[in-house]
Amino acid sequence: MARIARTIDLRAGIEQCTDSPIGRVRHALAGLGPEEAVEVWVKGYADEFTIVAWAKRNGYAVLEVHREGEEARIVMTAHGGPGVQAGDQP
């Protein structure tokens, strides 16, 4: 299991973040070691879908998506490998 190296909190809403949310995630993924991961918190299914779909399209591995009410915790790494698809229940 990958160690969480960085956490990004986008629960204020993707549209309310001052920096590009995708840019924040991409920056957090840059330079990760092979056993490191980024934890991203989002609020709402649409934001979850956006982050997971972007990650998949750009070659990042989504290791886990865990929903807690209307929030979701997404764990991803910059290194390819098996992961979950958008909407899967881990």
Residue 89 lies in a domain: no
pLDDT band at 75 (very low <50, low <70, confident <90, very high): very high
Q: Cα–Cα distance between 8 and 12 in angstroms, integer? A: 11
Structural domain contains residue 25: yes
| 86: in domain | no
| pLDDT beyond 70 at 37 | yes
Region for residue 63 given its phi and psi (left: phi exceeds 0; alpha: psi -120 to 50; beta: otherwise): alpha
Q: Which residues have a Cβ under 8 Å from the Cβ of 19 and sit 6 or more positions away?
A: none
Rg, the chain, Cα only: 12
Q: Is residue 87 part of a domain?
A: no
pLDDT at residue 89, as a whole number: 40
Residue 32 maps to a domain: yes
As a whole-number percent, the residues of the chain with pLDDT over 70 amount to 80
11 occurs within a structural domain: yes
Closest CA to 59 of 29, 24, 21: 29
- pLDDT confidence band for 20 (50 / 70 / 90): confident
Total of domains in the chain = 1
Domain that holds residue 67: 3-37+45-77
Question: Is residue 70, in this structure, part of any structural domain at all?
Answer: yes
Q: Please, is 26 exposed, middle or buried when counting C-beta atoms within 10 Å of its C-beta (0-12, 13-18, 19+)?
A: middle
